[in-house]
Amino acid sequence: MHQLITKIGKGQRGVRDLSWDEAKQAAREMIEGNATPYQAGAFLMAMRIKLEGVTELASFTAATRSYVAPVTAPAGLHVVDVPVYAEKHNTHHVCVPAAIVAAAAGAVILFHGVDNPMVSSDLPRVLAQLGIPAALQGDDLVATLQRDGFAYLDLALYHPPLAGLLALREQLGAQNLFHQVARLLNPMRAHSQVVGVAHPPYLEKIPEVVNMIGGRRLLVFQGVEGFPELSMTTLTNMRELRDNRVTRLTLKPEDVRLSPGSFEIMAVAPSVRPERSVSKVEGRQDSGPTSSPSARPERSVSKVEGRQGSGPTSSPSVRPERSVSEVEGRQGSGRAPKDIPALEADTIQRVLRNQVRDRFRDWVIYNAAMFLYAAGKAHSVAEGVPLAQRSLESGAAAQKLADLASTMNAPSPLPFDKAQDRPSRSGGEGVEQPKVVHV
- Residue 255 is assigned to a structural domain of this protein: yes
- Residue 427 is assigned to a structural domain of this protein: no
Average pLDDT score over the chain: 82
Predicted local distance difference test score (pLDDT) of residue 336: 52
- Residue 118 is assigned to a structural domain of this protein: yes
- Residue 86 is assigned to a structural domain of this protein: yes
- Residue 11 is assigned to a structural domain of this protein: yes
What is the spatial distance between Cα 193 and Cα 186, in angstroms, rounded to a whole number? 8
What is the spatial distance between Cα 251 and Cα 245, in angstroms, rounded to a whole number? 19
Residues near 294 by Cβ (< 8 Å), separated by ≥ 6? none
Same domain, 319 and 182: yes
Q: What is the pLDDT of residues 400-423, one digit of tens each?
A: 999 999 876 433 344 434 344 343
Same domain, 15 and 161: no
Same domain, 361 and 245: yes
Torsion angle, alpha carbons of 235, 248, 226, 375, to 10: 100
- Whichever domain contains 190, its CATH number is 3.40.1030.10
pTM of the entire predicted model = 0.80
Question: pLDDT class for 171, splitting at 50, 70, 90?
Answer: confident
Q: Which residue did the predictor score with more confidence, 261 or 12?
A: 261
Predicted local distance difference test score (pLDDT) of residue 408: 64
Question: pLDDT class for 358, splitting at 50, 70, 90?
Answer: confident
Percent of the chain with pLDDT over 70: 77
174 pLDDT above the threshold of 90 = no
Q: What is the pLDDT of residues 291-338, one digit of tens each?
A: 333 333 444 444 444 444 344 433 333 333 444 444 343 333 344 556
Segment 189-207 shows an average pLDDT of 96
Predicted local distance difference test score (pLDDT) of residue 322: 41
Predicted local distance difference test score (pLDDT) of residue 357: 83
Q: What is the pLDDT of residues 269-298, one digit of tens each?
A: 654 434 344 444 444 433 444 333 333 344
CA distance readout (Å), 435 to 70, 113, 190, 212, 245: 25, 30, 21, 8, 9
Same domain, 235 and 374: yes
Q: What is the pLDDT of residues 85-128, one digit of tens each?
A: 999 999 999 999 999 999 999 999 999 999 998 888 999 999 99
Q: Which residue did the predictor score with more confidence, 438 or 178?
A: 178
Same domain, 259 and 310: yes
Provide the domain count of the chain.
2
Same domain, 128 and 21: no
Same domain, 315 and 366: yes
> What is the number of other CB atoms lying within 10 angstroms of the CB of residue 3?
8
> Where among 30, 50, 70 does a domain terminate?
50
Same domain, 34 and 85: no
Structural domain that includes position 356: 79-289+297-416
Q: What is the pLDDT of residues 127-136, one digit of tens each?
A: 999 999 999 9
- Residue 317 is assigned to a structural domain of this protein: yes
Question: pLDDT class for 268, splitting at 50, 70, 90?
Answer: confident
71 pLDDT above the threshold of 80 = yes
What is the spatial distance between Cα 119 and Cα 115, in angstroms, rounded to a whole number? 10
- Residue 407 is assigned to a structural domain of this protein: yes
Same domain, 237 and 120: yes
Segment 140-156 shows an average pLDDT of 96
Same domain, 215 and 347: yes
Q: Which residue did the predictor score with more confidence, 433 or 86?
A: 86
Phi first, then psi, for residue 241 (nearest 5°) are: -100, 125
Q: Which residue did the predictor score with more confidence, 322 or 39?
A: 39
- Residue 252 is assigned to a structural domain of this protein: yes
**Would you say 47 and 176 are in contact if contact means Cβ atoms under 8 Å apart?**
yes
- One DSSP character per residue, 324-392 reads HHHHTT-TT----GGGHHHHHHHHHHHHHTT---SHHHHHHHHHHHHHHHHTTSSSSHHHHHHHHHHHH
Same domain, 174 and 271: yes
Same domain, 42 and 135: no
Bridge partners (DSSP) of residue 242 are 217, 245
